[in-house]
Structure 1
């Protein structure tokens, strides 16, 4: 979905107004922008930078540093697979390989039909139930090949 630059500027202006006077507002503003658009459009960066008296590079640096911020819209569903050591030791690499193969995409990509975006995440705090996944914000433990197949059926439906 293409986002109109004038619409971005207007909506980001409203978001900035709503966060006026907040101390350390950059992260909450970026989260609100991503909630509004499904990603942080590049056209939003100069508007945010100007209002917060930051450089565009500073704002871009924050967006690109944090994995949860996206510069492109994600799929209708987001599947995050834990890549931390506990999950890897319990078969997480095999689950990840299978997910990438079945979806036909790599990390940070979205299936051609726009259904699923696949993202790595480094620790969901579910180490005792490794390997773990996050499906549209829902934590799932003990993800083996069968459970992965079930999750993929769910997000493709």
Structure 2
């Protein structure tokens, strides 16, 4: 299925809803893994919005990706509660263990490292999420176990 046909199908499902852009962006990202830049003019035309309006929503919300993520997506919480409990050190450890900087995907496509701004686990900080599965009270040792469990290709 082409990107254009995917966007057309999703527009048919969502265009008549009030505030259709957000549900449509979520549906597109769920379907193809990200919101490709070439989808922006298609979405804008289908919703009678400017390209700038669509791009503004995509760039404002941290959840939306403009490029394909790695096979594994590791998200480290950067909200205040997690920062107070050591998420910055956890992030540095994750960058080292994964061989990937924040906001990047490894060259081999195995893993993406992303920030997330609250997983709702504030009382169990620091927290992270791997492939949409949240983990709380993540210590350095727990992070090592979680990364080892990813079975990353060498």
How much does 1:34 deviate?
A: 1.0
Farther-moved stretch of structure 1 (87-96 vs 136-145)? 87-96
C-alpha distance in structure 2 between counterparts of 1:58 and 1:156, whole Å: 40
Contact 2:29/2:35 (<8 A) preserved: yes
Q: Which of residues 146, 151, 155 is equivalent to 2:146?
A: 151
What is the 5 A alignment of 1:108-119?
108-119=103-114
Contact 1:79/1:116 (<8 A) preserved: yes
C-alpha distance in structure 2 between counterparts of 1:35 and 1:114, whole Å: 18
- 2:23 pairs with 1:24: no
- 2:61 pairs with 1:66: yes
**TM-score (normalizing by structure 1):** 0.90
SS in 2 for 1:119: strand
How much does 1:63 deviate?
A: 0.7
What is the 5 A alignment of 1:84-103?
84-103=79-98
After superposition, the C-alpha distances for 1:22-52 in whole angstroms (9 at most, x for unaligned) are 1110011111111121111111111111111
Q: Which runs of 4+ in 1 moved over 2 A?
A: none
How much does 1:85 deviate?
A: 2.2
C-alpha distance in structure 2 between counterparts of 1:52 and 1:85, whole Å: 36
**TM-score (normalizing by structure 2):** 0.92
After superposition, the C-alpha distances for 1:75-131 in whole angstroms (9 at most, x for unaligned) are 111111111222222222211111011222211111222121111112222122111
C-alpha distance in structure 1 between counterparts of 2:6 and 2:28, whole Å: 8
SS in 1 for 2:2: helix
C-alpha distance in structure 1 between counterparts of 2:78 and 2:38, whole Å: 32
* Matched positions, count: 152
Task: Output the aligned Cα RMSD.
Answer: 1.4
Residue of structure 1 in register with 2:131 after alignment: 136
Contact 1:9/1:43 (<8 A) preserved: no
